Structure 1
Amino acid sequence: MALLVNSIIMLGMLVLMPLGLRLVDGPGIARLARWWPVVAVPSAVALWLPRGALAAGLCVPYALMTLLLLAGLAVTRLAQRRSLASAEVAVLTALAAPTAAASALVAERAGHELFGFGLGILALTVPHLHFAGFGAALIAGLVCRSVDSGAARAAAWCVPVGTLLVLAGYFVDDTAELAGAVVLTTGMWLIAWLTWRDVRARSADRATRTLLAVAAATLAVTMLLALSWALGEATGLPHPSLAWMAATHGLANALAFVLCALVAWRRTGVRA
């Protein structure tokens, strides 16, 4: 499973982040997106090294970039816009989530069980916060900006709140994690429905419509897997293993949902 998880993390750091950042409106974002892969490369190398001081040290520049530049951008944006509208909350979440992902990465590469999280959970937290915390939250914000409806506003709240509740469930219990999975799935399914019904239908470009259709259809299946896993953890019912979830839910969400959706949104020219 480590090979697959590390590959997904690399995809998130080197491709997803600069691609998504180009969809965020704000001063200095384009320059940050251009330099992002350069700073992320040492962390990508660290994934394949033994845990220890060297591997952790290589991840520090990436962690500092997410904290000082990306989370700093979120604070600046909030101060300037003074808005907690639905779409804005989703975008602010997207800007803040990579800092938590990078912190988990540094701890995992150091072999340190951060906040009591086992190393395996920390390793899975890194891609989760890149693709759900950053990618899905950003997409929710873009959908909310483009579709003026209660469902779009609900999706823009459900994705950040659901992501945070899933993480909180690690501290509380499996029932709390299940509640987070339900909220997150609700938001993701709303994104899928609105993407299929509204965003895709409005696009005049065939390639963009195809990418959006793939992204929407993917969520119908992958979030069922997420619910199945969370329900099994909370109740003891049979459910997929973490390795199987990484190979199905994780990989499909990374490639067929987040990347396809972000490429499609890039083609539309809409920015969050």
Structure 2
Amino acid sequence: MSLHKDHVVRWNGISLGLGGGVWGGSVCVRLLGWTQLNDLEIVLLLALFVITPLALPFVFFQNKGPLFSKWTALVVFLQPLAAFLGGASFFLPAGPLAATFAAGWGGFTGLLALLGLVQLCQMRRRHRLSLTELCLAGALLYLPAGGAWMVLACWGLQPLGFGVHTDLLTAVHFHVIPLAALVITGLTGQALHNRPATRRGVCWAAYRIAAIGVLIDPLLVAAGMTGAQITSLPDLDTVPADLLALSLILLTLLGLRFVVPTTVSRVAQVLLTLSYLTVFFTMLVAGTYVLGVTTGAWTITIAQMIAIHGLENALLFGCCGLIGWRLRTGQESQRSRRGEPCAY
């Protein structure tokens, strides 16, 4: 099998098409009542089959080092197989067999994390730790946490008494936040950095605050959930959610102001606008949920939060946003090859 970049790009497109078909078929099967997939499993299938192949090119293809090229190509070729193994686990009864299939995906996330460490080492050798590149590398480093919690959920294990429902919620969090939020955060920062007017001053300071918040939030969520479970103090769990909401709202304002207007493709403009507005809305809902839990003034159910905060974020913010960025970067590459000036 050839590892030439053109073949890798073509295979990534095939993987994305197949993954979209598998996810759409899974949704149809669930709607027809032929399977017992729940909402969280539908979101995880979307992350495995669609969001992952959408996000990987942004993380890998910008790095042209010789050490990176063959390994990243191999990972792109392995991604569909790992997704099929992980996806099959949701159609099996919870237990060792389902966990074994899920472990196939978990091992793949470990390989991605290893490549993320290689990226960090390359940045250190260059003596340049770019915040945008840290976001893209961090997207890979967090994925094994999602893979591990997915294995636990498929096995039916409940560490620290969390429950299978919390296992799946955590697995979704550690897939969607790295693959969607962190990648889009990194790409937004690159777009801002490429504009002389926004690579410094207030705009760049605002971006740094937002990016750092999204970058450290998965760690804070893990610590907060564990602390809340052990101490029964709900505030330990809600503070990271507030931080993520404020960070993504700030990122949305920057994206709508500086990214969308400089996007040439009208389709990409619509998709990016939809993505940014979706996360703005869902983060407001998340803040409302946290405030209601803290004050007891109102209640938004977990099922409602999964539908609004989970599926909408994954489908509209993640998928639409990444597709919009692929259209934007593809058009900019064509303009660059033709010698035309970029929109910014």
TM-score, with normalisation over the residues of structure 2? Answer: 0.74
Q: Equivalent residues in 2 for 1:159-238 (5 A)?
A: 159-173=214-228, 174-238=234-298
SS in 2 for 1:112: coil
Q: Hey, what does 2:54 align to over in structure 1? A: 19
Please give the alpha-carbon distance, in whole angstroms, between the structure 2 residues aligned to 1:110 and 1:213.
39
CA distance in 2, matches of 1:106, 1:93: 21
Structure 2 residue aligned with 1:77, among 108, 119, 124?
119
Alpha-carbon deviation of 1:132?
Answer: 1.2
- SS of 2:210's equivalent in the other structure is helix
- C-alpha separation between the residues in 1 aligned to 2:242 and 2:211? 15
The letter of the residue matching 1:97 is Y
Of 26, 40, 44, the residue aligned with 2:87 is 44
CA shift in 2, pair 1:164/1:229, >3 Å? farther
State yes or no: 1:9 paired with 2:44.
yes
203-212 or 90-99, larger mean C-alpha shift: 90-99
Structure (1 or 2) with the larger CA radius of gyration: 2
User: What corresponds to 2:147 in structure 1?
Assistant: 102
Pick from 170, 173, 176 the counterpart of residue 128 of structure 1. 173
Deviations 1:1-38 (A, max 9, x none): 95221111101001101110011133243442343122
For 1:33 and 1:265, the matched residues in 2 are separated by 19
Paired position in structure 2 for 1:65: 108
- CA displacement, residues 221-267 of structure 1 (integer Å, 9 cap, x when unaligned): 10011112223334434221111111111111111111111011111
Structure 1 counterpart of 2:113, one-letter code = A
Q: Using the alignment, how far apart are the partners of 1:189 and 1:2 within structure 2?
A: 31
Q: Supply the distance in 1 between the matched residues of 2:157 and 2:283 (Cα, whole angstroms).
A: 30
How far, CA to CA, are the matches of 2:92 and 2:98 in structure 1? 6
For the residue of structure 2 that corresponds to 1:269, the secondary structure is helix
Q: State the match for 2:311 in structure 1.
A: 251
Which residues in structure 2 correspond to 1:107-118 (within 5 Å)?
Answer: 107-118=152-163
Relative distance call for 1:77 and 1:221 in structure 2 (3 A) is same
Unpaired stretches in structure 2, ≥5 consecutive residues: 1-35, 64-68, 193-198, 229-233, 333-344
Q: Which residue of 129, 134, 137 maps to 1:89?
A: 134
State the alpha-carbon separation in 2 of the partners of residues 115 and 195 from structure 1: 39
Which amino acid is the alignment partner of residue 158 of structure 1? G
Distance in 2 between residues matched to 1:88 and 1:62, nearest whole Å: 25
Q: Which residue of 1 aligns with 2:210?
A: 155
Contact map agreement 1:161 1:183 (CA 8 A) in 2: no
Counterpart of 2:186?
141
> Residues 234 and 30 of structure 1: is their aligned pair in 2 closer, same or farther, counting only changes over 3 Å?
farther
**CA RMSD between the two structures:** 1.9
Deviates more, 1:45-54 or 1:86-95: 86-95
Tell me the CA shift for residue 115 of structure 1.
4.8
Would the aligned equivalents of 1:21 and 1:29 in 2 still touch at CA under 8 Å?
no
CA distance in 2, matches of 1:94, 1:39: 18
Amino acid at match of 1:87: T
Partner of 2:325: 265
Identity %: 31
The residue number in structure 1 matching 2:28 is none
1:56-112 Cα shifts (integer Å, max 9, x gaps): 011111111111x21101111111111443213312220112110000011111111
What TM-score do you get using the length of structure 1 for normalisation?
0.93
Partners of 1:114 and 1:6 in 2: CA distance: 19
Tell me the residue number matched to 2:23: none
Letter in 2 for 1:11: L
The gaps in structure 1 that reach 5 residues or longer are none
Shift of 1:43: 1.2
